């Protein structure tokens, strides 16, 4: 891979694909200065999103904004004129007139952009991708070394997805080596779109297949990205108090029914289950702003919040967890799954144990992450 931009930090850079909604922006807004410089969120902006909140991101954080859902580039241009540290995200199938406008914005402000290749919707193999990239460079006036390449895999929710996706990603990374990109990042999303189908009243463990994909690719020198704690494919809305809590190569999903008590009581019970679990971080509430808010609810020191709040707390913890893991020495052992207290049945279910133990939801494939 060609050397990165000379101004790029030697620390790992994390590029999560997030919506520009209030929960994700609030979580980003609570990043400390050391973490903010290591995160380049890819914010997907849609009509109706609180655009002005993008101007209140923490110092040191540069966000990339994808306006694929907007009819024009006006919202981004207005923020750039007010000095917001934003860069455009350019799709491989972008129209020629928008390429010209996005190139002008990139060159006149921070001098770089993100090129997003969506593996599931963009019909580009290595040869076709070269033609598409050259078209973008011509229209935008950007050079390859002014572009971060984002290989967006989309949904990877089981071992079969992993086996099917990894060879194609490897071929595209081999293609990327032909050009002097500023960086290359592989992004995937592993959160299932149908969480309401999970049981409630106990934590359920789900595999982070996106993380396992990236672990298989670490020898290629690519950066890591994901969809945070959201799904790559939109699903039905969550109706219960819920928490998506990241732990090593798994998520713990907490869905607490409103039956048998007030909403505040159910959220407090949910948060107590989180803070007494083996995967609660050693640093406790100091680990992230989200963990601080979870502990406050567990102690009954604040109200229940809302679905926006729960997503913000979970996203805040997720960002901190990913950054802490990426900062591990390169020779460190890979993260180990949280040990489960109990015996697994042959059908893949785990029996109910202590409330903090939870169970593993049956996967659509082998949880080992092996690709062969």
**Cβ contact 80:109 at 8 Å:** yes
Quick one: pLDDT at residue 258? 62
Q: Is residue 171 part of a domain?
A: yes
Q: What's the CA gap between 188 and 190, in Å, rounded?
A: 7
Structural domain total, the chain: 1
Q: What is the pLDDT of residues 281-307, one digit of tens each?
A: 999 999 999 999 999 999 999 998 899
205 in any annotated domain: yes
Q: Are 246 and 208 in contact (CB under 8 A)?
A: yes
Q: Give one word for 220, left, alpha or beta, with left for phi > 0 and alpha for psi -120 to 50.
A: alpha
Segments forming the whole domain that contains residue 179: 17-238
Please check whether residue 337 lies inside any domain of the structure: no
Query: Which residues are registered as beta bridge partners of 44?
Result: 19, 66
Stated pTM of the model: 0.85
Q: The domain spanning residue 218 has which CATH number? A: 3.20.20.20
In a domain, residue 148? The reply is: yes
Partners of 178 in beta bridges: none
Give the up-direction half-sphere exposure of residue 368: CA atoms within 13 A in the CB hemisphere.
Answer: 4
Within a domain: 145: yes
Both tokens of 124, joined, read 């580009």
Looking at residues 334-340, what average pLDDT do you find?
36
Q: Are strands 147-155 and 183-189 parallel, antiparallel or unpaired?
A: parallel
Residue 333 lies in a domain: no
For Cα atoms 299, 304, 308, give the angle at the middle one, nearest 5 degrees.
Answer: 130
Task: Say which residue, 59 or 252, is predicted with more confidence.
Answer: 252
Contact predicate 60/36, CB 8 Å:
yes
Is 287 among the domain residues? no
Query: pLDDT for 16-29, tens place per residue?
Result: 999 988 899 999 99
Q: Is residue 293 part of a domain?
A: no
Percent of the chain with pLDDT over 70: 83
Burial (CB count <10 Å: 0-12, 13-18, 19+), residue 197? exposed
pLDDT beyond 60 at 369: no
Tell me the sheet residues that pair with 64.
Answer: 42, 87
Q: What is the pLDDT of residues 82-118, one digit of tens each?
A: 778 889 999 998 999 999 999 999 999 999 999 999 9
Mean pLDDT of 336-355: 32
């Amino acid at each position: 891979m060609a050397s990165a931009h000379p101004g790029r930090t030697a620390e790992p850079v994390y590029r999560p694909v997030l919506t520009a909604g209030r929960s994700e922006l609030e979580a980003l807004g609570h990043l400390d200065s050391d973490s903010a410089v290591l995160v380049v969120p890819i914010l997907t902006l849609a009509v109706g999103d609180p655009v002005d909140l993008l101007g209140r991101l923490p110092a040191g954080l540069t966000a990339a904004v994808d306006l694929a859902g907007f009819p024009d580039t006006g919202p981004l241009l207005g923020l750039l004129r007010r000095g917001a540290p934003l860069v455009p995200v350019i799709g491989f199938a972008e129209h020629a007139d928008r390429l010209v406008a996005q190139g002008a914005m990139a060159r006149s402000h921070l001098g770089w952009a993100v090129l997003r290749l969506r593996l599931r919707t963009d019909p580009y193999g290595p040869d076709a991708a070269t033609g598409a990239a050259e078209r973008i460079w011509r229209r935008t006036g950007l050079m390859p070394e002014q572009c971060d390449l984002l290989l967006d895999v989309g949904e990877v929710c089981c071992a079969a997805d992993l086996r099917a996706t990894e060879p194609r990603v490897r071929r595209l990374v081999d293609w990327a080596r032909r050009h002097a990109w500023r960086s290359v990042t592989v992004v995937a999303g592993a959160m299932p779109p149908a969480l309401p189908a999970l049981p409630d009243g106990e934590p359920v463990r789900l595999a982070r297949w996106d993380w396992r994909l990236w672990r298989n690719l670490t020898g290629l020198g690519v950066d890591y990205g994901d969809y945070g704690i959201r799904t790559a494919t939109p699903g039905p809305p969550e109706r219960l108090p819920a928490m998506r809590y990241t732990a090593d190569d798994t998520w713990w999903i907490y869905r607490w029914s409103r039956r048998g008590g007030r909403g505040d009581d159910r959220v407090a019970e949910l948060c107590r289950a989180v803070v007494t679990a083996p995967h609660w971080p050693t640093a406790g509430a100091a680990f992230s702003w989200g963990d601080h808010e979870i502990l406050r609810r567990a102690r009954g020191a604040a109200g229940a919040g809302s679905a926006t709040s729960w997503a913000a707390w979970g996203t805040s913890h997720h960002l901190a967890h990913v950054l802490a893991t990426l900062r591990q020495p390169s020779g460190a052992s890979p993260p180990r799954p949280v040990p489960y207290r109990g015996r697994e049945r042959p059908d893949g279910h785990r029996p109910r144990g202590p409330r903090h133990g939870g169970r593993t939801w049956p996967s659509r494939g082998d949880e080992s992450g092996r690709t062969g």
